[in-house]
A and B are shown apart, each in its own frame.
Chain A
């Protein structure tokens, strides 16, 4: 074992512990919400869920250990990019396609379709606003 191994192992173990704590908070929150809903204790379930969620955020943001590094951020950014690309594709083709099919009487689309399209419009509106702000600040 090298001289640096002890602090390194300690650091790795600490990172692992903090990550487990982070996901543990979320799992407890989700379990609390699920059980609370199942036994008709909705308020308690939601309170446990929020506590778990904020616990996870707290560990993530205030942990003295680096839980995620720049590569994780780059992967997240790429995943978000692809996700938005998929949704953009669905919106750009789906919205006019759905309107045309419905207007021509070929297909009666369920209300959920309209809901989904408006949700996508909302997502891209928020994206556009955030993108514009970031572009002005960059």
Chain B
């Protein structure tokens, strides 16, 4: 699954630690999501979408084979 989390975070001038604290996960998890190495749960995806005031599909985009 592709995502534009890093771009959104940088646009908001947030660090990975800031975002991690806002959605109550570790900084390593945010890093893994940004690198596409971990697909978040639906619950975390909703938290991220709520944090950036957008829909989940605005952040995440399924790639072929997902």
> Chain A interface (Cβ within 8 Å of chain B)?
2, 4-5, 7-9, 11-12, 15, 66, 68-72, 74
Give the size of the chain B interface in residues (CB under 8 angstroms): 18
Chain B residues with a Cβ under 8 A of chain A: 13-15, 17-18, 21, 24-29, 32, 38, 40-41, 43-44
Q: Which residues of B contact A74 (CB under 8 A)?
A: 38
Shortest B37–chain A CB gap in Å is 9
Contact flag A70-B40 (CB < 8 Å), given A2-B13, A12-B27: yes
Q: A66-B24, A70-B40 are in contact. Are A4 and B18 (CB under 8 A)?
A: yes
Whether A11 contacts B21 in the complex (CB less than 8 A), given A2-B13, A70-B40, A70-B41, comes out as: yes
The answer to whether A7 touches B29 (Cβ under 8 A) is no
- Say whether, besides A2-B13, A74-B38, A69 and B18 are in contact (CB < 8 Å): no
